[in-house]
């Protein structure tokens, strides 16, 4: 009987995949092989029998992304915050600390989420449709969004979640054993576990495995350019097109996110964008039209845009879910502005889940939630008219 390690840190005996519960969220997560389905991996299973999830620091790693200041202070150079930290101080991300005048990552090799799930969940609609990715996340985030969906993972420190000791080599062993085609750095904020992500991505690229990044895009140009050679696709959360929303609701700035999108586009990385449409915060025609025109002019009309439904969470529980009519209006505005691939997310069964060919108007990919129902593409081209559809298809 195989062992499967669950989020609760105990070893469960099972011969089949099971659902695993996050210890802090206390809700079920559909995880395919399950979170850390180590029993499926001959190499890791031996280690896993004596390993349980644990709170606190497991591994640390010196980050190269900092500069020394006076009196053993440092300035972190990973993200646009450029935090100045005195000896012993952590940044707002909760996972980077000044130790003796050096910047230390507290989450290297310490994932709190490792699970395989549909690539559509990231969401990527133009990357290997119908396949599954191994998703990896640690504690921490460099923004503080009041609508955070994973606040009990992203907006806490490594001491506050159960994590595992898994090296980049361990992660890749799981990918190979489960016969997956991609690794997705997602759920929390991958920028804060940058060194871990980059080392996994390097191994994945060597083995022919795709690297997919779902991020807030709040990162400095130098580390982003260090990662780009290993990236196959990036979905950026463009949380608003208004600087005031970024400052007041997200604790950040809009400009660096737009810069990251332009850097990725210039490097030829496949881009998709997710925008959460929030009642009373997202201004219909004004915000969506301005964002869509910027995407078309700066990135290209072919860049997929996901308009995601908001549900009351974290510090915005006083707001209602986004009316579907508001999402329909936003989709119409984005398409009228010239975007060719505009999707509605988190409304299973909505026609906006499907991919429509800009060349002939036929539905070339149909979906139900995260489930791929049909696909009329051949070598990345519409089977009906031959129109080339941007994406990662093989």
The residue that leads in pLDDT, 285 or 229, is 229
pLDDT at 285: 85
Burial of 313 (0-12, 13-18, 19+ CB in 10 A): middle
pLDDT tens for 65-82 read 999 999 999 999 999 999
Q: Average pLDDT, stretch 290-298?
A: 98
Three-state SS at 111: coil
Q: Is the pLDDT reported for residue 257 higher than 50?
A: yes
Cα–Cα distances (Å) from 234 to 4, 134, 145, 183, 270, in that order, read 30, 15, 20, 12, 6
pLDDT at 314: 96
Average pLDDT, the chain: 88
Report d(CA 37, CA 29) in Å as an integer.
14
> Is 276 in contact with 308 (CB distance < 8 Å)?
yes
Q: Average pLDDT, stretch 336-350?
A: 97
Which superfamily, per CATH, for 116-355? Aldolase class I (3.20.20.70)
pLDDT at 14: 29
Report d(CA 201, CA 195) in Å as an integer.
10
Of 188, 191, 291, nearest in space to 246 by CA: 291
pLDDT at 248: 97
pLDDT at 133: 98
Three-state SS at 13: strand
Give Cα 27 to chain centroid, integer Å: 20
The angle subtended at Cα 234 by Cα 233 and Cα 238, nearest 5°, is: 155
pLDDT at 54: 83
Residues forming a β-bridge with 5: 11
pLDDT tens for 371-381 read 999 999 999 99
Percent of the chain whose pLDDT exceeds 90: 84
pLDDT at 211: 98
Question: Does the CA dihedral 156-187-141-7 come out positive or negative?
Answer: positive
Report d(CA 394, CA 378) in Å as an integer.
10
pLDDT at 208: 97
> Is 324 in contact with 308 (CB distance < 8 Å)?
no
Give Cβ neighbours of residue 123 (< 8 Å, ≥ 6 apart).
Answer: 235, 272, 274, 306, 343, 345
Report d(CA 119, CA 192) in Å as an integer.
22
Report d(CA 30, CA 33) in Å as an integer.
9
Token pair for residue 178? 């489960």
pLDDT at 364: 97
Token pair for residue 139? 């504690």
pLDDT at 51: 58
Q: Is the pLDDT reported for residue 87 higher than 50?
A: yes
Q: Is the pLDDT reported for residue 93 higher than 70?
A: yes
Q: Report if pTM > 0.85.
A: yes
Domain boundaries, the chain: 3-48, 61-105, 116-355, 356-394
Q: Is the pLDDT reported for residue 254 higher than 80?
A: yes
pLDDT at 19: 27
Between β-strands 28-29 and 61-62, what pairing exists: parallel, antiparallel or unpaired? unpaired
pLDDT at 322: 97
pLDDT at 394: 85
């Amino acid at each position: 009987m195989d062992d499967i390690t669950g989020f609760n840190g105990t070893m469960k005996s099972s011969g089949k995949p099971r659902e695993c519960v996050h210890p802090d969220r206390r809700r079920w997560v559909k995880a395919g092989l399950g979170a850390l389905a180590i029993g499926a991996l001959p190499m890791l299973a031996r280690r896993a029998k004596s390993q349980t999830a644990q709170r606190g620091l497991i591994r640390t790693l010196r980050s190269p992304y900092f500069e020394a200041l006076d009196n053993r202070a440092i300035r972190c150079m990973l993200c646009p915050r450029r935090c100045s930290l005195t000896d012993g101080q952590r940044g707002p991300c909760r996972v980077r600390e000044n130790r003796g005048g050096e910047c230390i990552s507290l989450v290297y090799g310490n994932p709190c989420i490792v699970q395989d799930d549909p690539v559509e969940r990231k969401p990527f609609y133009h990357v290997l449709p119908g396949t599954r990715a191994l998703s990896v996340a640690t504690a921490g985030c460099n923004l503080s969004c009041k609508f955070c969906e994973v606040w009990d993972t992203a907006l806490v420190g490594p001491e506050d979640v159960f994590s595992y000791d898994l090296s980049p080599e361990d992660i890749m062993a799981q990918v190979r054993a489960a016969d997956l085609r991609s690794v997705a750095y997602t759920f929390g904020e991958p920028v804060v576990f940058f060194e871990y992500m980059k080392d996994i991505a390097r191994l994945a690229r060597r083995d022919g495995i795709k690297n997919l990044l779902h991020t807030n895009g709040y990162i400095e140009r130098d580390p982003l350019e260090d990662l780009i050679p290993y990236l196959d696709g990036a979905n950026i959360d463009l949380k608003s097109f208004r600087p005031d929303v970024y400052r007041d609701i997200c604790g950040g700035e809009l400009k660096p996110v737009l810069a990251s999108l332009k850097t990725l586009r210039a490097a030829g990385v496949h881009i998709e964008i997710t925008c959460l449409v929030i009642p009373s915060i997202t201004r219909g025609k004004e915000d969506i039209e301005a964002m869509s025109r910027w995407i078309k002019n700066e990135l290209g009309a072919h860049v997929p845009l996901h308009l995601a439904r908001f549900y009351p969470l974290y510090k915005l529980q006083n707001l209602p879910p986004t009316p579907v009519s508001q999402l329909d209006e936003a989709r119409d505005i984005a398409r009228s502005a010239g975007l060719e691939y505009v999707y509605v997310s988190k409304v299973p069964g909505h026609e906006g889940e499907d991919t429509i060919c800009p060349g002939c108007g036929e539905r070339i990919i149909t979906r139900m939630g995260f489930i791929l129902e049909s696909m009329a593409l051949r070598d990345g081209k519409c089977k009906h008219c031959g129109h080339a559809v941007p994406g990662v298809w093989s």
